[in-house]
A and B are shown apart, each in its own frame.
Chain A
Amino acid sequence: MRLDLTGVSAHIDGRPIVDGVELTAGPGEFVALVGPNGSGKSTLLRTVYRSLRPSGGVVRLDGEDLWRMRPRQAARHRAVLPQHSQISEGLSVAEVVATGRHSRKRPLERDNDTDRAVVATALRRVGMEGAADRLMTALSGGERQRVLLARALAQEAPLLVLDEPTNHLDVGSQLLLLDLIRSLGLTLLAALHDLDQAAAYADRVVVLRDGRVAGHGPPLEVLTPAFIEEVFGVRAHVGPHPITGRPHIAVASPAMDAEGAPEVRTVG
């Protein structure tokens, strides 16, 4: 599945948030969307998960206009792990994952063996197979996030869009979630905050600043120390990772000295 955004603009309450963004993700490619808070990452993603209609430009899946598809058809092509989700009170884990089958079922069709198998597989892939009969309200934040990922997997869509999927997860869960989504063989578009994670996992990054693309390409070509300082206002260093030896992006506050203590500055 190939995703193409051509000149996509989006407004919220009449205010332009995203302006003429070009973005492409080829089949099986992992594209990370990075940028400071308020740069328009979530708004851009909303045009891909059809929660906000672009005010200009086109979102295409394999050449077909996403916004001209019927809702169910769109959901068969792209799944979403949204940033904000409400806890489905009174539903069990398996029932929540089964809602991901919505686009595959006719209204009165009952769940069949295929649906149950897809739900079980999705839960196994996220390591939640033992929790199928637990209530969503009884899970921890990290467990809920994995269930929501399983729900997206149950859509069996070739494109997966994720909005800051590692939010609220401990470091171990963050890395394992990223390992997991990269192993799925899907086309991935994910908004990420951690530049080092973006560099380590993504095939390409697209950097947004003030709603426009400020840079795009392979992570280490784009995320140079000078560029990171310009966009994010932090000092950055790219060097070999002390454990893996792979390129690693370290950042520090401009106020931080070599000992790691913030410089005391008198204001006024």
Chain B
Amino acid sequence: MADTLTHVQVRPAPPRRPHLVSGPATGVLLAALVAGLVAALVAGISVGSVNLPLGQVWGIVWAHLSGRGAQADPLLSQVVWDIRTPRALLAALAGAGLSVAGVALQALVRNPLADPYVLGVSSAASLGAVLVPALGGTALAGLTGALGVTGAAFAAAVLSALLVYVLAQRSGRLLDSWLVLTGVAIGYLCTAATTFVQLQLNPTELQGMMFWLMGSVAGASWTDLGVPALLVVSCLAWLWLQARSLNALLAGEEAAVAIGVPVARLRIGLLVAGSLLTATVVSVVGGIGFIGLMVPHMVRFVVGADHRRVLPVSLLAGALFLVLVDLAARIADRPNELPVGIFTTGLGVPFFLWLLRRRARGGSDAT
């Protein structure tokens, strides 16, 4: 009786490791990303539309960190501590949130082209945001006024995710193709409604809205940081606990069930975590595109698809990427600022096309 299937010779393993970075090298990569992120934050705080000497900038930061902020020059303090610092931190949080949301939603719909906006969340958030000025002076002005632009965007995003969930499930089980199609359909609906509402706005209101629709971390304040920070940390913690299950899910729903993964519950959790993260980020910084799509893919090319590596590396890479992109948006056309979405998308679209072509060729070697 044969003990092994030895008659077919397995082709000899190629000398290279399966992933560019694996094993202990992952730790080195994580350390490098942390160092890069710290450096990028330092640069983000040091550089801006006004040139300030570095010593002065960090003198102010140090004064605030050590509780002596009141003694610093009030004008410089405002620039450095109230504008630049929360802005750099918000960029890091938004980048981290979007890429982790991308990992969650790509695992949920098992489609490599899924991004945080695949479920229509960002289109809904935009709609919620434009409704605030549009409904001013109507019967609903009280409600929208109480929510503010951020609150209305968040509420609309959560509502749309809820709607997608209700429409894409059958007896509590989420169906891949329904999720994507329902999300895309809801997204189109919200985009059409947003366009209609925009036409009703006056040019001043429209200008403010446009900047928001393009995505921007400008105008960040310390109070914007709390909720995104809390959600990024808690969603990442939950996803981290599911990392083994997410790996099993790569082989398909049936295989994951066989291995012992509570798939129905896991997928609902992924939908909730992905939508909450996306809704939070979008409601604060607007529709910043492609980070949630490109960062997880780039990370997988480097470390492979094991979520125990993909999750932390994506978090740091996403944060680093958006801090750098925001820096570029501020200094490319000084003293003017360009919407950050132009840079993420400008870099994202070529990547997307390359990915598409690579997949069309079979792409079996470098994945």
Interface residues of A (CB under 8 A from B): 46, 49-51, 71-76, 79-80, 82, 84-92, 95-96, 99-100, 102-103, 105, 107-108, 124-128, 130-135, 137-138, 142-143, 146, 148, 151-152, 155, 172-173, 176-177, 179-180, 182-183
A-B contacts, 14 of them at CB < 8 A, read A50-B257, A74-B260, A75-B258, A85-B254, A86-B255, A92-B19, A92-B304, A95-B306, A127-B8, A130-B13, A133-B18, A155-B260, A173-B5, A182-B1
Instruction: Identify which of B2, B17, B112, B257 contacts A183 (C-beta below 8 A).
Output: B2
Given A82-B255, A131-B10, verify A71-B247 contact (CB < 8 Å).
Answer: no
A75 to B254, CA, bound (A): 13
Which residues of A have CB within 8 Å of B2? 176, 179-180, 183
Tell me if A127 and B6 are in contact (CB < 8 A).
yes
Give chain B's interface residues, CB within 8 Å of chain A: 1-8, 10-14, 17-19, 110, 112, 240-245, 247-248, 250-255, 257-262, 300, 304-306, 363-365, 367
User: A103 to B259, Cβ gap below 8 A?
Assistant: yes
Q: Is the CB of B250 within 8 A of A86?
A: yes
A-side contacts of B13, CB under 8 Å: 130-134
Enumerate chain B residues within 8 angstroms of A138, measured Cβ to Cβ. 364-365
How close is A138's CB to chain B, nearest CB, in angstroms? 6
Structural contact, B250 and A88, CB atoms closer than 8 A: yes
- B110: min CB distance to chain A, Å: 7
**Prevailing SS type, chain B contact patch:** loop
**Which chain B residue lies CB-closest to A100?**
B259
Identify which of B4, B11, B243 contacts A124 (C-beta below 8 A).
B4
Q: Smallest distance from the beta carbon of A262 to chain B beta carbons, Å?
A: 34
Q: List the B residue with the shortest CB-CB distance to A179.
A: B2
Closest Cβ of chain B to A243, distance in Å, is 16
**In the complex, what's the smallest C-beta–C-beta distance from B359 to chain A, in angstroms?**
10
In the complex, besides A152-B258, A155-B259, A183-B3, 4 extra interface pairs with C-beta distance below 8 angstroms are A85-B254, A92-B19, A100-B259, A131-B10
CB distance from A114 to the nearest CB of B (A): 16
Top 8 A-B pairs, shortest CB-CB distance: A75-B260, A90-B305, A80-B258, A92-B18, A103-B260, A127-B5, A86-B252, A88-B250
Q: Which of A91, A107, A130 contacts B242 (CB 8 A)?
A: A107
Which chain A positions have C-beta within 8 A of B243?
107
